[in-house]
Every structure is written in C-alpha cells, then in structure tokens.
Amino acid sequence: MRLITWNINSVRLRLNTVKRIVKKFQPDVLCLQETKCPDDQFPFKEFEDMGFVSTKIYGMKGYNGVSISSKLPITSTEKKKFCRKNDARHISAYINCKGRKIKVHNFYVPAGGDEPDTKVNKKFKHKLDFLKEAENWFTKKRAKNKDLIVLVGDLNIAPHELDVWSHKQLRNIVSHTQIEIDKLLKFQNSFKFIDAVRFIHGYDKKLYSWWSYRSKDWKKSNRGRRLDHIWISKKLLPHLKDVSIEEEIRGWKRPSDHVPIIVDLDLS
DNA sequence: ATGGTGGTCCTACCA
C-alpha cells in the first residue's frame, strides 16, 4: 500500500497539481491538509476520475480542512473535534488492504502564530492544548487498541535538530521551540508511534518538507523545516518498506509551500 | 533589516 500525505494549500487551486502527483506516484491512499474548501464545493468527481473509489472529507470555509482519498475500500470514518472547535483538523478512516484493516489518521495541527508565549498568544496556547488532547486521546486508546495505524499530516513542528535549517536560529521560533517539541514527542509516545521518515532516513542528515513562500529562491537559500510527518504503530514496522520526501515538487509551477511525503507498506 | 509571498474571500485573516 502506497500512501501520500500532502499539505496542498487549497485543493481547488491545485487540482491539476494533485492529478499530476497521483499520475506520477500512483498512491493507493492520499491524505491532504489545508484543503481550504467547504464540503459542498469539494471536487469529488475529479478525485473519482483519478481512481479514488472513496473520498472522505472534513472541510470548512476559508481555512484548514483535511481529506482521505482511497483506491481501496474505506469502511468507516471518524472526524474528531479538538479543543471543542469545529475547525476541521482531523479525519480518520479504516482502509481494507489485502485482508487487513489499516487505520489512517490525518492531522492538521494548529500553526500557533508567531509569539511562542501562551500568555500573549492564544494561537500558541491552542497549539499546545491540541497536542495535549491528542496525547490523551491516544493514551486512552493504547491499552486495548490492536489496530495497524498510520498517523500522518502537517503537525507544524520540526522536532529534531536536523529537521530545520538552523537549530540555533530557530530554537525560539514557533515550530521548533522546546515546549512544542516536548508536547509533540509526548503525543508520539502516547501510542509508541515510530517516526517512519527518520526510521528510514536516519537522524544524521537534514530533512525538510516545507519551504516558506517568503523567500526569493527557496532552493538556493534552502531554509526548510520538516513539519510534515508519517508515524506508524509498532505492529506496522515489519511492513515498512520505504519513505520519500518529494522535494522537487516545491519547484513545480504554483507550488504549495509543503511537499508530498510517500510511504510504502508491504501488506502481502 | 521586521520585510518578504500566497491562500480564501472582500476586508481581514490565516499560514
């Protein structure tokens, strides 16, 4: 099973790009974040034409929004609200693959604003509260849950030193502060998730999945961050075959500021 | 040096 996660930054604006990506990489499952599309305006027909028999969405007007599209049957869907908000930041689905049921969680974690101080910045507080709630949710699930789980999405945190272009210069910048990193790793550990990207590629090289729009030449300056993640439950580890970050897509025409990440799982 | 750019949707908000 091949799964792609991508912060598309508007599904309607980048329909042709997503078609190109699906054609090139042939994913079985596609998880999108920041679809920025109300549910009644989602381009279902175009996703069907790409070969996805099922597309489940949780969208809203203007911001946020997540979706899971699959060429394999989806049996059930859940949309969880965090922090008592209806802000379309999570959707999950069971996907049937070769007689196995895979649970896919797709997250769009709040970005958190600019000031890394919960007292003056309520967006930063929201981000930390969101992570805490996610941690608690998976802690409760851990004891009894036997699912094969893939958790993906734009988690808006670059947890390791080589997940940013300069650890020293970004340690007080939202997305790489110690308090966020601690919260993210606690969330990850709540279900003993494995960071599939680092498992495959190791911890000793810089890896980015996002480059700001606000630079003249993203490639030349290469000031990226690894904000997008693929985590797998321990039971899936024997099935993990490969992970790739498709950097070159940042250089395509009218790009998202994030690039797709691909994971290959052998479920035969 | 406190910008810069790019989304949605109409004026400001979000990243």
Q: What is the pLDDT of residue A11?
A: 98
Q: Mean pLDDT, to the nearest integer, of A218-244?
A: 97
User: Does the pLDDT at position A144 exceed 80?
Assistant: no
Report field, pTM of the whole predicted structure over 0.95 = yes
**pLDDT tens-digit map of A117-131:** 999 999 999 999 999
Task: Compute the residue count for chain A.
Answer: 268
Choose among A10, A27, A13, A30: nearest CA to A153: A30
**pLDDT tens-digit map of A2-29:** 999 999 999 999 999 999 999 999 999 9
Band (pLDDT 50/70/90 cuts) for residue A143 is confident
**Strands ordered across the beta sheet of A100-108:** A74-78, A90-97, A100-108, A148-154, A228-232, A194-195
Can you give the residue range of the structural domain that contains A10? 2-265
Output DSSP code: residue A125. Answer: H
Q: What is the pLDDT of residue A240?
A: 98
- Residue A71's CATH number: 3.60.10.10
Band (pLDDT 50/70/90 cuts) for residue A220 is very high
Separation between Cα atoms, residue A225 and residue A209, nearest integer Å: 6
Q: Mean pLDDT, to the nearest integer, of A67-82?
A: 97
Work out how many domains chain A is built from and give that number. Answer: 1
- Residues whose C-beta lies under 7 Å from strand B: A 9-10, 12-13, 36, 38, 61-63, 110-111, 113, 123, 156, 213-214, 254
Nucleotides of B under 7 A from a protein CB: 4-9, 14-15
